[in-house]
Structure 1
Amino acid sequence: MAVNLAHKYSNKMAEKFTKESYVAGNASTDYDFAGVKSISIYTPQTVDLNDYKREGQNRFGTPGELQDTIQEVELSQDKGFSITIDRGNNEDQMKAKNAAKMLNAQIKEQVVPFMDKYTLRRWVELAGTIEGLSAAPTRDTIVEKIFDGAKALDNALVPDQDRILYIPTTYYNMLRLSKEFLAVDTLAEKALSKGYVGMIADMKAIKVPDVYFPEGAYFLITFKGSVLNPNKIKTIRVLSEVAGIDGNVLEGRNYFDAFVLGAKAGGVYAAVDGSKVLAAPKITVSSGSAAITAVSGVTFKYTLDGSDPRYSKSAKLYTAAVTLEAGQTIRAFAEKAGSYRSGVAEAKNA
C-alpha cells in the first residue's frame, strides 16, 4: 500500500519554491495551460493612420479586415526526481534523513536552481532586443549600459512599472562600486527577498549567481507582461509502506517552460557578448524574387505576412529564393546553435 503524504508538504514546498526562486512571480499570468501542452496566442494587428478626406467614399481610408499574428508556445520541460530513504539507514544515522528535510533540500538545491537557470537562459535567447556589446561591461560602463537597456524599453513604449533587471553577481559588484552608484539611484537599500538589491533606472534590480546566466550574457531586463514561465505540474509527495521498500519514497515533478511574448518582445532586453550574436540576414529582391545570402552553419526563418519571424507561427525555414507579390515584404532572422540569434531584416518587392 502506498500512502500519499503530499498534503503535509505541498503547500510548504510551494511557498519554499517562491521564496527561493529569483524569477517566480515575475512573469505574466494571463495565459492558462490547464488541460493543454501548447497554446496559440492571437495578437490583433493595428493599422497605420490615414489622411481624412472630406468628400467622396471611404473618407477614413479603405477599410480592411482586422488581422492577427499567431504565436504558438509549447511546454518542453518535464522533469522529475525519486529518492528512497531506507528505514535502516535512517535509524543508523540518528534519523538525520528526515523526509521533510530531504524534500526541502531537494527543492532548494536542485529543482529551483534548474528551473531558474532554464528560465533566464530562455528569456535571454528569446529577447526582443539582443544587444551585442563590443566589450564586457566594466565598473565605468555598467551604469551606462543598463540605462541603454532601459532606453530601449522606453522607445518600445513599454510601461515603466513591472520592469526587472536581472544582473549576475560579477556585474552587480561593478555596479555597486561604481562612482555613479549612489548618485544615480539608491541601490544601497537592502531588499528582504528574492534577490532584490535595490532600484536603478526605475527598475527593480535582482542579483543572481553568475552561474545562473548563459555564457556570454551580461544582464537581462524584462517587463512582467512580456514573459511567461508556466509551471503546469508541481508534484511533491512522500510515499510510505511502498511494496519492496522499507522506508519512504520522495517524488517530485515539474512540467514547465519559459517564453517571450512576440507581441510584447520589446519588453525584453539582453546585453550579451557581441561576438556571439549573429548578423542579420542579407536579403536581395530581384524580379519579384527574394534571396537570402547563405552563411555556413546558419539557418534562416522568414515570414511574408508582416509578422515577426522569431515568434510567428507562420514562420518558415528558408531553403531557396522566395517569390514575392507586388508590395509584399519578407522578414527574416538568422539562428545557429551556440550563438545568439540575429535581429530581423526585411526587404520589400516594390
Structure 2
Amino acid sequence: MATINLATKYEKKLDERFKQSSLTDAYAGKSYSFEGVNAIKIWTIDQVPITDYNRNASASRFGTINELGDTVQTLVMTQDKAYTFAIDAGNAGEQFNIKHCNAVLKQVWDEQVVPEVDRYRFSTWSNGAGIVTAGAALTKDTVIEALLTGHAAMSNKRVPKGKARVTFISETLAIQTKLATNLQNNEKYTTGAILNGQIGVINGSPIVAVPDDLLPAGVSFLIKYKGSTVDPMKRKVLRVQTHPLGFDADIGEGRYIHDSFVLGQKINGLYVYGATASVTATPTIEIASGGQVTLTSSGATKIYYTLDGTNPKNSDTVQTYDSGSKPNAPAGTVVKAYAETTSKLNSGVAETVSAG
C-alpha cells in the first residue's frame, strides 16, 4: 500500500485571546493630578459647630470664635509595572514574520494589563468602602431589594444620586438580576435590557456586569460614586527598540504607573454587598461613662480606629485597638473604626460621637 504524506502548514494569522475594554475607566476618579510628583496631599476643612445666635451677647453673638482647622490625606503612588520581550530577526524571518512588535505590545496591554488594573481598582474600592453589608447569596427574589437597599444606605449618607453612581455586579448575580421577579412584568426591561444583553438602570444609575474574578472573592456587587476615589494612570509607555546594541531583534517594552485611592471624606460613596463568610464584620463601638472605648468585631484579626473624625482606612492618625489598653474619648470626640481579617474583605466603617 502506498504511503501518502499529507501536507501541513502554519497559518499566518495569530490566534488572539479574548479581551475586554476597561470596566473601570469611565467611573474612575480623575479630579486630582499627580503630574510631576509621586504623592499629593489633600486638605479637608474641619466641620464648624452650629449654635444659636445670641442677640444679647456682649462679645461675638455668633458663638465662640476658633481658628478653622483642617486634616490632610496623603496619597502615595505604589504601582510601577513593566513588561518586555524580544522578537529575534532570525526567528521572525523563519516564522513568516507573523509577530509584530507594535501589535504584541498592544495585545499584552489589552489581554493582561487592562484586567489587572480593573482588578486592582475593584479591590481598592471594595476594601476602602465606608458601607459594607454581609449577607446570604442573592436570588431573583431578593437581588433588587438588596440593590435598592444599598442605594438607600448611600442616599442616607447624602451621596448624590443618579448617573454619578454606578452599580458593578458580578456576572453570576447578573443572571438573577435579569430574572428578577420584580422586573418580569416590565415590558420595557424584558424586551430592551435582556434582549440587548444589558443589565439596565437602577435608581437612575447604570448597572455594569463584571466577570466574577475581577471582583474580590465573595463580593456580589459594588455601588460607587464616581468622585469618591482618585485613580491616576500617570504613565503609559508602549515602546519598540529596533535592533538595540547586542540584539539582532526588536525589543518590546511596556510600562505603566497607576494607583487607586479612596478619599477620606467620601468613603460612604462606596457600598459593598458580600457573602457573610467573605466579609469582616463592621465593629461595634461602645463608650462607657467616662469615655472608655470598647471595640468589637466577631472573628476580626485587627481593629483600627481614629479619635479625630478622620477615616481610619487611610488616616495618618489611625491606631490599632488593644483591648488591654482601651482608648478614652472625651465628650464630643468622633470615634471611627473598621476591622480586617486575613483573606476577607475589610469591614465598613463604624462611627459614633462620645457623650463622655
Written as runs of structure 1 = structure 2, the 5 A alignment for 1:1-16 is: none
Written as runs of structure 1 = structure 2, the 5 A alignment for 1:139-178 is: 139-160=140-161, 161-178=163-180
RMSD between superposed Cα atoms in Å: 2.6
Written as runs of structure 1 = structure 2, the 5 A alignment for 1:1-350 is: 20-56=21-57, 57-133=59-135, 135-160=136-161, 161-181=163-183, 183=186, 186=189, 189=192, 197-275=199-277, 276-285=279-288, 287=290, 289-292=292-295, 298-319=301-322, 320-325=325-330, 327-342=332-347, 343-346=349-352, 348=354, 350=356
The CA deviation at 1:185 is: 7.4
23-32 or 55-64, larger mean C-alpha shift: 55-64
Q: Aligned pair in 2 of structure 1 residues 189, 74: CA closer, same or farther (>3 Å)?
A: farther
In the superposition, the TM-score normalised over structure 1's length comes to 0.84
The CA deviation at 1:252 is: 0.7
Give secondary structure in 2 for the equivalent of 1:145.
helix
Question: Does the 8 A contact of 2:44 with 2:70 survive in 1?
Answer: yes
318-327 or 304-313, larger mean C-alpha shift: 318-327
In the superposition, the TM-score normalised over structure 2's length comes to 0.83
Q: Provide the C-alpha distance between the structure 1 equivalents of 2:76 and 2:187, rounded to a whole number of angstroms.
A: 41
150-159 or 270-279, larger mean C-alpha shift: 270-279
Residues 287-316 of structure 1 deviation map (CA, whole Å, 9 limit, x = unaligned): 554454697762222222222322322222
Give secondary structure in 1 for the equivalent of 2:247.
coil
Residues 319-343 of structure 1 deviation map (CA, whole Å, 9 limit, x = unaligned): 4333444554543322222222233
The CA deviation at 1:245 is: 1.7
Residues 53-99 of structure 1 deviation map (CA, whole Å, 9 limit, x = unaligned): 22213322222322223222221211110111111222222111112
Letter of the 1:348 partner, please give it. Answer: S
Question: Does the 8 A contact of 1:308 with 1:344 survive in 2?
Answer: no
Question: Does the 8 A contact of 1:187 with 1:200 survive in 2?
Answer: no
Give secondary structure in 2 for the equivalent of 1:322.
coil
Letter of the 1:125 partner, please give it. Answer: N
Question: Does the 8 A contact of 1:196 with 1:204 survive in 2?
Answer: no
Q: Provide the C-alpha distance between the structure 1 equivalents of 2:218 and 2:210, rounded to a whole number of angstroms.
A: 15
142-151 or 320-329, larger mean C-alpha shift: 320-329
Q: Aligned pair in 2 of structure 1 residues 179, 326: CA closer, same or farther (>3 Å)?
A: closer
331-340 or 182-191, larger mean C-alpha shift: 182-191
Question: Does the 8 A contact of 1:301 with 1:334 survive in 2?
Answer: yes
Question: Does the 8 A contact of 1:33 with 1:39 survive in 2?
Answer: yes
Q: Aligned pair in 2 of structure 1 residues 315, 180: CA closer, same or farther (>3 Å)?
A: same
Question: Does the 8 A contact of 1:298 with 1:334 survive in 2?
Answer: yes
Letter of the 1:300 partner, please give it. Answer: I
Identical aligned pairs, as a percentage? 32
Query: Which protein has the larger Cα radius of gyration, Structure 1 or Structure 2?
Result: 2
| Aligned residue in 2 for 1:3 | none
Q: Provide the C-alpha distance between the structure 2 equivalents of 1:114 and 1:188, rounded to a whole number of angstroms.
A: 34
Higher relative contact order (CA 8 A, sep 6+): 1
Letter of the 2:354 partner, please give it. Answer: K
Q: Provide the C-alpha distance between the structure 1 equivalents of 2:82 and 2:209, rounded to a whole number of angstroms.
A: 27
The CA deviation at 1:272 is: 0.9
Q: Provide the C-alpha distance between the structure 2 equivalents of 1:294 and 1:262, rounded to a whole number of angstroms.
A: 22
Q: Provide the C-alpha distance between the structure 2 equivalents of 1:307 and 1:97, rounded to a whole number of angstroms.
A: 53
